Amino acid sequence: MAGLIKKLFGALVEKPWEKDQVNIDDAHEGSSFSKLSPQVSAVIVIFGVSTVLFSLIVSGYIYTIPSDQDTMFLLQSNLLWFNTFILILVSYLFKKISNDLKFGKLEKIKRNLIQVGGLSYLFLFGQIFFWYHLMSTGKFVSTNSYFSSFYFFTALHGLHLLGGLFFWGSVCSKTLKIEKEKIIEQTKNIEALSLYWTFLLIIWLVFFLIVFVFNDAVIAFCKSLLT
Amino acid sequence: MLDDINKDKKHSSPRTKSSSISGGERDVDYVRPADIPDQELYHGHSFLTKWIFCQDAKVIGVQYTLTAVFTGVVGLILSWMMRMQLGFPELFPFLTAESYYQMVTMHGMIMVVYLLTALFLGGFGNYLIPLMVGARDMVFPYVNMVSFWMFFVAVVVLMASFFVPGGPTGAGWTLYPPQAIIEGTPGSGAGILLMLVSLSLFVIGFTMGGLNYVITILQARTRGMTLMRMPLTIWGIFTATVLALLAFPALFVSAIMMTLDKVLGTSFFMPVMMKAGELLAYDGGSPILFQHLFWFFGHPEVYIVALPAFGIVSDLISVHSRKNIFGYRMMVWAIVGIGALSFFVWAHHMYVSGMSPWFGFFFATTTLIIAVPTALKVYNWILTLWRGNIRINVVMLFCLGFIVTFVNGGITGIFLGNVIVDVPLSDTYFVIAHFHMVMGIAPLMVIFGAIYHWFPLITGRFLDEKLGKLHFWITFLGAYSIYFPMHYLGFIGVPRRYFEMYNSPYMPSTIGMNEFISIAVFVVGAAQFIFFFNVVKSIRLGKPSGKNPWKANSLEWLTPDVPPAHGNWGEKLPVVHRWAYDFSVPGAKEDYIPQTTPPSEVIEAEVEKT
């Protein structure tokens, strides 16, 4: 982090017209973060934008919690734990893929990539099933601000995951066809996918902790803010 | 070092040939060999892939510009209709209260989002970023193309709202709930839904484009192009894009939430309400939450428009006064500082919403602080002009017009930033005058100046100078004829958004002034067609400009072809040796030194401190 701050703000104090600086600048390769591929850079930017997006939804949730909100509406299901476990498993598989990339274990990479896609679809199916479960018990999107925010957040999270699966499909189809020595061509794409799924996991975990695991504490805290 | 160069002969520039080290001394023209392979581009072959679904950022920039200008003309016509009602009420029976509110709403949203944002970032951003940083194209050309088409669909959806039952939304450009989606407000059915869908599509499309702008600027610059060698145009566009990427999610979230409130009966923004004696199903929502979300987007939006304008005008002033920009580093810091501060001032739009006085104090303070870097920029533009070899051409006229207009609008902004002044002036014509000066006319001055400046690059021909001066003077004087009197109207308490106001005892005194303003609006609007005529005429019949007609230093003027071909740079990417502001350097033979000129070619030139 310190390096990043130095890189970003250190550049702002350069004097491009001075002779010493000219010598340094002429040797500059152009890219500000040469170790990052464009694909990984894109995921980082998306991470930033989506973090703002999801933070605003959570802020809206906190803002609209009525002072008489109690815990009667809280989600009662173990399915969310299962879905969370699946998402953690996907990130673990991506970790394994990253290790396999270093050693060029193509077959393992292919197998794990397929599992990643399958589990991600399973997560989406689990979320939709949970929606169905909620609706069958009379908890609709318009029931109260708690469920409005829950449906809204999970829908957007799911859409982000679907977007990731679109690119996963493209990368996976190419990876399944290539020879071992050409895996290097897909490395940047796979790294970007791995980072993207880590981001989806982080976002989900934060939300899951706020609305499910520590919901009582969060609601009590929000009430204290509102009062 | 030589080994490094030999390893990558394919990608090294001609300059690297002279980078051998002789006698143990460093070669003054040394540049680093290319580490990154050249970008592979998709070259369209059919009309469809070359001009419609094109991946060339320059074509996409022109597509953005044409679409944005089309929406701008619609916005202009709407403003004519509004002024027709305000200046000459009841002259046209079709101008009802409902249609007036719809015109107000659509005019505001079109001008702020679909014209100015799209034109500065989509238009100038796409055309100039790859050229000015020395890249062949954006890093993700396909995503860039999709970005434009998302914008196009957003515009189509917005325009479709004119033709649905009930017409477009008439909720005011801020779309405040609950009235925006409640029956009784014009366009509260399909109109508001199409507006919200259109805004959501716009944000998705912009995010795709913004991703490209940011990563291209950070990661795809050519060798030698450090951040602090970038032209201020790129700094402005870069910072504005970062702001937009962080601010537009607020618009997106609020648009989706309001859509859910309207369609699925959620209560994100809807409190307990009664309609015609009946209790509605809404419960527990907060209209103030929408205001916070909207202005968390809305105030940075001002700088999303202003920062590219700041950057562009800095470059235009420097080129056309043949002087380096005064205080380059300060200008960069000011752009970055204004961008950061713009996220801490949003609630100054909400002083009358009933906020805690302490919040009002906080937001008034941050609002006044943001005036400091802004004023610094104004001083630097003036000091750049000071003792410059100023060319009074159309570009310079628009730049000067921008400075005075921006100062005018900025100063009234300082008035309104103070709670105690804002409260009585809130929702009056003073506010209308302020924001039209500061984020309407001032950025438009820069847009026109920029088009007159870069038209020779895009087409290889000059725009007609005489028509340009006629266009400038009518626009400049006309704009002041419109907005100066509006300040007075605000002071005497004329409220904004009112369809008619002549029953009030003090309103008759404003009739003459309203008529005068309306006539000025018709004239200024018509004057824009002089500009359109000039563009159409000059594309075919304009005087050929040749390469680099303004003798500028930045890379976009140094392409092998004019207009630049797809890929921009022919076989070899340019290599940068200096910043873009070496004008009138003491000792140099010419009064400009392009960014690609190596030190050995201008040994006699002296470094000038700034």
Kindly state whether residues A1 and A84 are assigned to the same domain. Answer: no
Mean per-residue pLDDT over chain B, rounded: 92
Kindly state whether residues A53 and A1 are assigned to the same domain. Answer: no
Instruction: Give the count of domains, chain A.
Output: 2
Kindly state whether residues A63 and A80 are assigned to the same domain. Answer: yes
Out of B44-48, B76-80, B604-608, the most confident range is B76-80
Does the structural domain B57-267+287-602 have CATH classification 1.20.210.10?
Answer: yes
Kindly state whether residues A101 and A190 are assigned to the same domain. Answer: yes
Give the pLDDT confidence of B174-183 residue by residue, as tens digits: 999 999 999 9
Query: What DSSP character marks residue B53?
Result: S
- The Cα–Cα gap between B26 and B121 comes to 41
* Minimum CA–CA partner of B269 in chain A: A64
Kindly state whether residues A112 and A23 are assigned to the same domain. Answer: no
Name every chain B residue with its beta carbon within 8 A of the beta carbon of A13. 329
Q: What is the pLDDT at residue A75?
A: 65
Structural domain that includes position A163? 38-226
Q: What is the pLDDT at residue B7?
A: 39
Q: What is the pLDDT at residue A2?
A: 67
Query: What DSSP character marks residue B279?
Result: E
Q: What is the pLDDT at residue A93?
A: 96
pLDDT over 70 (residue B448):
yes
Decide which of A130 and A216 is more confident: A130
Which helix H or strand E contains B232, and what residues bound it?
helix B232-263
Q: What is the DSSP string of B86-127?
A: HHSTTSSTT--HHHHHHHHHHHHHIIIIIIIIIIIIIIIIHH
pLDDT over 70 (residue B5):
no
- Rounded mean pLDDT, A156-179: 93
Minimal C-alpha gap between A134 and chain B (Å): 16
Helices (H), B322-356: 328-341
Give the pLDDT confidence of B382-423 residue by residue, as tens digits: 999 999 999 999 999 999 999 999 999 999 999 999 999 999
Kindly state whether residues A185 and A221 are assigned to the same domain. Answer: yes
- The Cα–Cα gap between B345 and B365 comes to 9
- The Cα–Cα gap between B122 and B131 comes to 14
Write down the residue that tokens 């990731």 correspond to.
Answer: A164
> Do residues A13 and B605 make contact, with C-beta atoms less than 8 angstroms apart?
no
Kindly state whether residues A25 and A56 are assigned to the same domain. Answer: no
Residue B577, amino acid: H
CA distances for B368 relative to B198, B301, B349, B357, B362, angstroms: 34, 18, 14, 16, 10
Q: In Å, how far from its chain's centre is CA B318?
A: 20
Q: What is the pLDDT at residue B10?
A: 38
Phi, psi (deg, nearest 5) at residue B426: -60, 140
- The Cα–Cα gap between B213 and B143 comes to 11
Q: What is the pLDDT at residue B52?
A: 92
Contact B266 A63 (CB under 8 A): no
Kindly state whether residues A53 and A165 are assigned to the same domain. Answer: yes
Which residues neighbour B562 within 8 Å (Cβ) at sequence distance 6 or greater?
Answer: B456, B457, B460, B545, B546, B547
Query: Residue A187 belongs to a domain with what CATH number?
Result: 1.20.120.80
Minimal C-alpha gap between A32 and chain B (Å): 5
Kindly state whether residues A82 and A161 are assigned to the same domain. Answer: yes
Q: What is the pLDDT at residue B18?
A: 40
Name every chain A residue with its beta carbon within 8 A of the beta carbon of B285. 64, 145
Kindly state whether residues A22 and A89 are assigned to the same domain. Answer: no
> Do residues B304 and B244 make contact, with C-beta atoms less than 8 angstroms apart?
yes
Name every chain A residue with its beta carbon within 8 A of the beta carbon of B250. 52, 56
Nearest to B59 by CA among B75, B73, B48: B48
Mean per-residue pLDDT over chain A, rounded: 87
Q: Where are the domains of chain B?
A: 57-267+287-602
* Confidence category of residue B16, pLDDT binned at 50, 70, 90: very low
Q: Mean pLDDT lowest for which of A2-6, A101-105, B374-378?
A: A2-6
* Confidence category of residue B11, pLDDT binned at 50, 70, 90: very low
> Do residues B82 and B104 make contact, with C-beta atoms less than 8 angstroms apart?
yes
Phi, psi (deg, nearest 5) at residue B279: -80, 125
Kindly state whether residues A31 and A49 are assigned to the same domain. Answer: no
Nearest to B169 by CA among B160, B265, B67, B156: B160
What sign results for the dihedral spanned by CA atoms B390, B394, B400, B406? negative
pLDDT over 60 (residue B6):
no
Q: Which of A9, A14, A15, A25 is the best substitution to test chain B (most B C-beta atoms within 10 A)?
A: A25
B297, B299, B302, B306 alpha-carbon torsion, rounded to 10°: -100
Q: What is the pLDDT at residue B535?
A: 98
Decide which of A1 and B425 is more confident: B425
The span from the first CA to the last CA of chain B, in angstroms, equals 34
Minimal C-alpha gap between A210 and chain B (Å): 18
Give the pLDDT confidence of B83-138 residue by residue, as tens digits: 999 999 888 888 999 999 999 999 999 999 999 999 999 999 999 999 999 999 99
> Do residues A143 and A74 make contact, with C-beta atoms less than 8 angstroms apart?
no
Q: What is the pLDDT at residue B3?
A: 37
- Rounded mean pLDDT, A10-21: 83
- Rounded mean pLDDT, B465-471: 98
* Confidence category of residue A63, pLDDT binned at 50, 70, 90: confident
> Do residues B432 and B496 make contact, with C-beta atoms less than 8 angstroms apart?
yes
Query: What DSSP character marks residue B37?
Result: P
Q: What is the pLDDT at residue B387?
A: 94
Contact B223 A18 (CB under 8 A): no
State whether residue B332 sits within 8 Å of chain A by CB.
Answer: yes
Kindly state whether residues A28 and A88 are assigned to the same domain. Answer: no
